[in-house]
A and B are shown apart, each in its own frame.
Chain A
Amino acid sequence: MSERNRLRSIFTLVQLNGIIPIRTTPLYIVNLLASPLSFLFFIYIVSHGTYVAYGITGGMVLTMLTVGTSVQSDLTHYRHDLKFQDVVVASPVEAPIYVAGMALSELVYSLPALGVFVVLFFLWGYASVTSLAVLAGVLVLVWSFASALGFTLATYFQDVRETFIFSPMISLLFTVLPPVYYPISALPGWAQVASRISPTTYAAGLVQGSVGLQPLSLSVALLDWGVLIGFTVALFVIAAVKARWKEP
């Protein structure tokens, strides 16, 4: 397959799984706006507005993670119930093209939510060249590792119902327990250490640091980027080696 055809395949998947379903059922967008905005509202009420900035940055991270859980549930459904993955396997489309197309198509659903948070980000006065660059980099990495994780899991699930178990667990492990919606200092000492297992702790640290919510030294920033990039690369490697494009 030529590079041009690969691009065509990716954009066809975006059209097929992103643009057309939204055209058919626009309520999908509302669904993806609901979770991050609910969290923001909850945080605003509980913290009396103190943590609203964390809610905005955390909302963006959650939105990108939601892409990954959507990749996971859609691909499981397509593989099992429609045999769509089998159709694609027996075609010139390679696994990385399929994942890239599907991950981009899920991003289409998330764009309105992301748009709302970016507007709030500007309104709260956090937008600067540095913060926007950091935000963009972090969100791309979170989107990438979440999609790779979603694809890998989807090739193992034996039933779409399994995704109903894993999706909330992933959200819990990556966005609720780690300090994505609040400062890491709000956690007790042991929990601060435990939260270092989650890559979103580093993602949130970078975003919160770039807008001045948390102190962020250059060495800590480099460490955070290193961990986040390393985690993303590791999940890509796991997806390449362990995902079941072809059934064993």
Chain B
Amino acid sequence: MVSAISSVRLGKTYPKAKAGARALSDLSLEIPTGRVYGLIGRNGAGKTTFIRIAATQLAATEGTVYVLGHDIRTEERTIRARIACVPQESRPLYFLNVEEVVYLYLKLRGLDPKDARRRTRDALDELSLTEYRRSLVSRLSGGLRRRAMCAMVLASDADVLFLDEPTTGLDPLARRQVWEAIRRASRENRTILLTTHYLDEAEALSSRLALIEAGQLRLEGSPADLRARVRYPYRVTIEGAFPREELESYGKVSEIEGGYLLFTREAEAREVARLALERGLRVSMGPVSLEDIFLDVVGKSIEEDAPLPDNEEDTTEVSA
């Protein structure tokens, strides 16, 4: 499959960074056309830096990115005509109403008013924003503002959409609506590069995922690939007294409230589950979650912030 985005040994060191502090390092990725591609990693891992470079908002220090076959170093204008972006922590202009946010963005991109009106109506419908179309952004909740930003970009004519944590602050129902809109965009053969803190979201939406830690690619592939590549692809939860030493012979054990969590291989998981059931203990088993994989690879939870290189993303210090 042809790549919509292809990064080649991409590196980024911010101008004011301390010596050796790199936001991205030797990052090569192939993001297929017409799919949702998830970038996951802790705050400060380099996700936003990658998105900002690919979206031509930030210069790379080393390597390059090709977007739809065009080099970000020399063909920015061609790329910009075909992309759209919801930046992290972006908000719509507060004196506009929701309809104006979407409609004026589309007109700004050069769409004719009739087409812009139609696309606006469809996007507002899809994200359940029609009832708020005349509401001023300044009077909306954070979640509704974020949805308006998503509607704006999803309604556009862009072939590649960069969505940097698009569902932060949304309630579960609104998140599902955004997911559906993202899936529809993908069915229209548009490419979506998504960063998210919600691993369930990344797994539900992405055909492929890249796990980034400290600016480096740690794991890449489809969710099934990622599971296949971890040491222990199965998890077993046991409630009750089971000798820890015995469990440790099967894999990696952690203590949880009222029992143990064991990461192991499939055959061993079945064996331990059988033993636990024979001893009258409550047991559950299944493939590891993305959260488990993240923990295994990085050694830390995704909720834990990584130290930010100077001038790095996720701060207010961003400029054009």
Contacts and interface: CB of A to CB of B under 8 A. Distances in A.
B194 interface: no
Nearest to A85: B320
Contacts of A17: 93
Contact of A1 (B15, B89, B110): B110
Interface string B56-69: 11110000000000
A84 B93 contact: yes
B162 to A, nearest CB: 7
A91 B83 contact: yes
Interface in A109-165: 155-156, 158-159
A16 interface: yes
Contacts of A16: 93, 96, 100, 104, 108
Interface stretch (A7-15, A33-41, A42-50, A53-61): A7-15
Contacts of A156: 319
Nearest to B81: A92
Nearest to B157: A92
A218 interface: no
B52 interface: yes
A193 interface: no
Given A16-B93, A21-B95, A91-B83, A247 B58 contact: yes
A124 to B, nearest CB: 37
Contacts of B55: 86, 89-90
B85 interface: yes
B85 A247 contact: no
Nearest to B112: A8
How would you classify the secondary structure of chain A's contact residues: helix, strand, loop or mixed? helix
Contact of A8 (B87, B110, B158, B319): B110
Contact of B59 (A13, A21, A82, A248): A248
B77 A90 contact: no
A84 B100 CA distance: 15
Chain B: interface residue count, which band? 35 or more
Contact of A9 (B93, B110, B316): B110
B89 A90 contact: no
A244 B320 contact: yes
Interface string A81-119: 111111111111110000000000000000000000000
A2 interface: yes
A247 B109 contact: no
B320 A86 contact: yes
B318 interface: yes
Residue in B83, B88, B318, B319 whose Cβ sees the most chain A Cβ within 10 Å: B319
18 contacts: A9-B110, A13-B108, A15-B104, A24-B95, A25-B95, A79-B318, A80-B316, A83-B90, A84-B90, A86-B52, A86-B90, A90-B55, A93-B80, A243-B320, A245-B320, A246-B320, A247-B318, A247-B320
Interface of A: 1-2, 5-6, 8-9, 12-13, 15-17, 20-21, 24-25, 78-94, 155-156, 158-159, 243-248
